[in-house]
Amino acid sequence: MTAEIISGTALRATMLAELHDEVTTIRSRHGCVPGLVTILVGSNPASVSYVSLKIKTANSLGFHEIQDNQPEDITEAELLALIDRYNNDPSIHGILVQLPLPRHIDATKVLYAISPEKDVDGFHPVNLGRLLIGGKAVNFLPCTPAGIQELIVRSGTETSGAEVVVVGRSNIVGKPIAVMMGQKGKGGNATVTLVHTGSRELGAHCRRADILIVAAGVPGLVKPDWIKPGATVIDVGVNRVGFNEETSKPILSGDVDFEAARQVAGKITPVPGGVGPMTITMLMKNTIRSAWLHLRP
């Protein structure tokens, strides 16, 4: 059996068409253009690539987009002042500070400084707390976990009662997706196990998973015998494992040994073209949501 490929690129196209209509509606009915600022500090090659994809997508939807590139040596105080300016700018509904930040800047402090009402990344403790409470309390879901859940649901994978194993406990992916999959409601209601570098018998846990979500940042970590036959496998890893001189592009590889895994899994996301494009799509969705919320006094 060869697994069905869950394409993030295809789902992105569907969702961007939906979002495009929504932008038209909010503009024609309310004269409101969703505004997004992307702040990039320094020139980490992966960050440059992700931010430029975000800007391109925002422009394709007709957003008001500000690309704010700052030098590597910007001080923490300067960055905080910049965020404060955008917090008070009514044309901006979403503020994104691309991570990682240089060492001399305290990323936690920076993320806390973004107004929760403009936190389209969903990284502010207020929004993460709302996610934990669930239901109507949820405001902005973090983009990568939201994209993962969308891929799972739209691929027709049943989550209710399913065994979900999440590998990795980052604040950006592992922790929030584990909570989301266990919440009541659509795309949730699963039995969740969160495993990490401190776990014993990683493979044994993974083999129990009906849905395996891997966000470890370790290329090829998941071997085919870690996968339950027929399982849905979501590979969140975007590891740069080399450079293609011909295309001048980095060679990307996931956390799952894809070619071997697709012989065992029922459904699987590729890298590239899986979770990555969905992260950007959900950022657009959050920005439009923020624009709607700002219309209400």
127 or 279: CB nearest ligand L34: 279
Please check if 168 is assigned to a binding site.
yes
- Residues 209-248, interacting with ligand L34 (CB under 6 A): 238
Binding-residue pattern over the window 152 to 191 for ligand L34, x denoting contact by CB under 6 A:
----------------------------------------
DSSP letter assigned to residue 100: P
**Residue 279 binding ligand L34, by CB under 6 A:** yes
Consecutive H or E run containing 235: strand 232-235
Please check if 103 is assigned to a binding site.
no
- Known catalytic residues? 54, 98, 121
* Span interacting with ligand L34, options 24-32, 87-95, 96-104, 132-140, rule CB under 6 A: 96-104
Closest contact distance (angstroms) between CB of 271 and ligand L34 is: 6
- Give the pair of three-digit tokens for residue 294: 């700002």
**Residue 127 binding ligand L34, by CB under 6 A:** no
Report the alpha-carbon distance of residue 172 to residue 169 in Å, rounded: 8
**Residue 116 binding ligand L34, by CB under 6 A:** no
Amino acid at 85: R
- Following DSSP, what letter does each residue of 103-160 receive, concatenated? TTS-HHHHHHHS-GGG-TT--SHHHHHHHHH-GGG--PPPHHHHHHHHHHHHTT---T
Binding-residue pattern over the window 17 to 56 for ligand L34, x denoting contact by CB under 6 A:
--------------------------------xx--x---
Please check if 170 is assigned to a binding site.
yes
Please check if 169 is assigned to a binding site.
yes
Report the alpha-carbon distance of residue 98 to residue 289 in Å, rounded: 20
114 or 206: CB nearest ligand L34: 114
Closest contact distance (angstroms) between CB of 123 and ligand L34 is: 7
Instruction: Tell the residue number behind the tokens 């969702």, with chain if given.
Output: 15
Instruction: Tell the residue number behind the tokens 């934990």, with chain if given.
Output: 132
83 or 252: CB nearest ligand L34: 252
Report the alpha-carbon distance of residue 4 to residue 216 in Å, rounded: 23
Identify the residue among 32, 96, 214, 234 touching ligand L34 (CB under 6 A): 96
Amino acid at 280: I
Closest contact distance (angstroms) between CB of 173 and ligand L34 is: 8
Report the alpha-carbon distance of residue 25 to residue 80 in Å, rounded: 34
Burial class of residue 258, CB neighbours in 10 A (0-12, 13-18, 19+): buried
Contact residues for ligand L34, defined by CB under 6 A: 49-50, 53, 96-99, 121, 143-144, 238, 252, 271-273, 276-277, 279-280
